[in-house]
Structure 1
Amino acid sequence: MRSILCYGDSNTWGFVPGSFGIRERYDRNTRWTGRLQQLLDPAYFHVIEEGLSCRTTNLDYDDKPNGFRGTEFLSVILYTHAPLDLVIIMLGLNDLKKQFNNRTSQQIAEGNKELIDIVRSTTYGPNMQESPAILIVSTPIPVETSGENPSDMFEGAKERMQDLADELKTLVNKYDKNVYFVDAAPSVQISPVDGIHFDATAHEQFALLMNKTIRKIFNLPA
């Protein structure tokens, strides 16, 4: 049995686009993590959800309690679910909020490096003798909204993350082994309802991309 930890934000949690205030969540079978479990062989893969709305890479909020900084509890979460064969990390979108002083794609990549180094410092991989493999995902770029977004918290985010995929790919290439990269932007369309979240179609698109990517990592047939 191969265990895969999915460490992300609201798009891993399953936040329904536009449901600010009421926070609707897609059901397990609609969320990409649940669909990924169905696409992979359930007899040989266990997909673990660790999505948290508003999670950043390495930034603390002034107006939220502890726990939303991705680096804060990652080592504990890894130990909780160990042994792990793969850790999927898709974080950085929330770093683009205006309250974080117009963070750049390079700074987001640096936040991802901290996350990678935390995972690589552990022995929570197969047989608890080594670190798990890591898959870094560049999140799709925000889109213009067709509906009402109750907040301008992501103003300018689209422009500031144009180079994020290149920055993350360059980062991953610096590691010798067991760190992989995939850009989700060409395969996944963000919902125009709020411009930042996956709708049901995007969850399906992303699950298909993860299925294809994971099979390549483990040298399995498509």
Structure 2
Amino acid sequence: MPRVMCFGDSNTHGTPPLDVLGAPWQRMDAATRWPVVMAADLGPEWEVLEEGQPGRTTVHDDPIDGPHRNGLTVLPALLESHAPLDLVLVMLGTNDLKMRFGVPAQDVALALGRIGRTIRASGHAKAVMLVCPPLPRAQGALAAIYEGCEARGQGLPAMVERIADNDGFAFFDANVKVKVDPLDGVHFAPEAHVRLGRALAQVVRSTFGAT
């Protein structure tokens, strides 16, 4: 049975679009979240593991929300915990585009490459897919936190694809299937989760079906 770990942030965890900053913790039901949708489409012969954490960055300690949000820091423990894995699907980078970090798209792409190489070097997963997340917009409830993100994120999909090609990782641009919800400019509406889950199931099956 092929085993897939979905390593991501709040959009992998299933946080719904927020209507106000500081809203109580929420999570979409399992049937709605894209990793579960992907698992349903792949069928019972696949095992899909959800590893999404709200606020998770690629390689940055968050000075406000805490160092435990650093994806690179927690990754080795997660890989050991879930090994052996056939595929790790990485969708990170949205939180890197917050104003507090101030990093450009190129640095986000390079950080994703480092994540991918760390997974490969661990020996706990056979393959890596880098998924470029839908680009955030500074609007709605999270506008102040993401001020300037459109400019910082410009060109990110092409940069992540280049990193994936150079390092021999699979690549998928989620921007071709879904957009962020205008309510907060960051999270996905339920129908977007369904579209993304189904699209990724098709890509995973066609690319790794013989794993």
In the alignment, which residue of structure 2 is the partner of 1:181? 171
In the alignment, structure 2 segments of 5+ residues that lack a partner are none
How far residue 150 of structure 1 moved from its aligned partner, in angstroms, is 5.2
Equivalent runs, 1:110-125 vs 2, <5 Å: 110-125=110-125
Give 4+ residue runs of structure 1 displaced > 4 Å after superposition: none
SS in 2 for 1:173: helix
SS in 1 for 2:117: helix
In the alignment, which residue of structure 1 is the partner of 2:127? 133
Structure 2 CA distance, aligned partners of 1:88 and 1:82?
Answer: 14
In the alignment, which residue of structure 1 is the partner of 2:10? 10
* TM-score normalised by structure 1 residue count: 0.89
How far residue 3 of structure 1 moved from its aligned partner, in angstroms, is 0.5
SS in 2 for 1:185: helix
Equivalent position to 2:198, from 196, 205, 208: 208
1:37 aligns with 2:39: yes
RMSD: 1.5
In the alignment, which residue of structure 2 is the partner of 1:129? none
Listed one character per residue, the Cα deviations across residues 112-156 of structure 1 (whole Å, up to 9, x for unaligned) are: 12101110111213xxxxxx20010011122464xx415511011
Structure 2 CA distance, aligned partners of 1:197 and 1:10?
Answer: 8
Question: Could you say which structure has the higher helix fraction?
Answer: 2
* TM-score normalised by structure 2 residue count: 0.93
1:161 aligns with 2:153: yes
In the alignment, structure 1 segments of 5+ residues that lack a partner are 126-131
Letter in 1 for 2:70: R
Equivalent runs, 1:34-73 vs 2, <5 Å: 34-42=36-44, 44-73=45-74
Instruction: Sort the Cα spacing of 1:196 and 1:173 in 2 relative to 1 into closer, same or farther, 3 A.
Output: same
Fraction of identical pairs, as percent: 32
Structure 2 CA distance, aligned partners of 1:115 and 1:160?
Answer: 20
How far residue 31 of structure 1 moved from its aligned partner, in angstroms, is 0.4
Letter in 2 for 1:63: I
Listed one character per residue, the Cα deviations across residues 169-204 of structure 1 (whole Å, up to 9, x for unaligned) are: 11111124xx10011111112111111101101101
Instruction: Sort the Cα spacing of 1:69 and 1:205 in 2 relative to 1 into closer, same or farther, 3 A.
Output: same
Instruction: Sort the Cα spacing of 1:218 and 1:90 in 2 relative to 1 into closer, same or farther, 3 A.
Output: same
In the alignment, which residue of structure 2 is the partner of 1:128? none
Instruction: Sort the Cα spacing of 1:135 and 1:58 in 2 relative to 1 into closer, same or farther, 3 A.
Output: same
Letter in 2 for 1:89: V
Q: Is the 8 A contact 1:4 1:87 kept in 2?
A: yes
1:85 aligns with 2:122: no
Letter in 2 for 1:53: P
Structure 1 CA distance, aligned partners of 2:103 and 2:116?
Answer: 19
SS in 2 for 1:149: helix
Listed one character per residue, the Cα deviations across residues 49-103 of structure 1 (whole Å, up to 9, x for unaligned) are: 0000000000011123332101001011011001100000000110011111x21
Instruction: Sort the Cα spacing of 1:180 and 1:66 in 2 relative to 1 into closer, same or farther, 3 A.
Output: same
Equivalent position to 2:180, from 161, 165, 190: 190
1:27 aligns with 2:19: no
Letter in 1 for 2:32: T
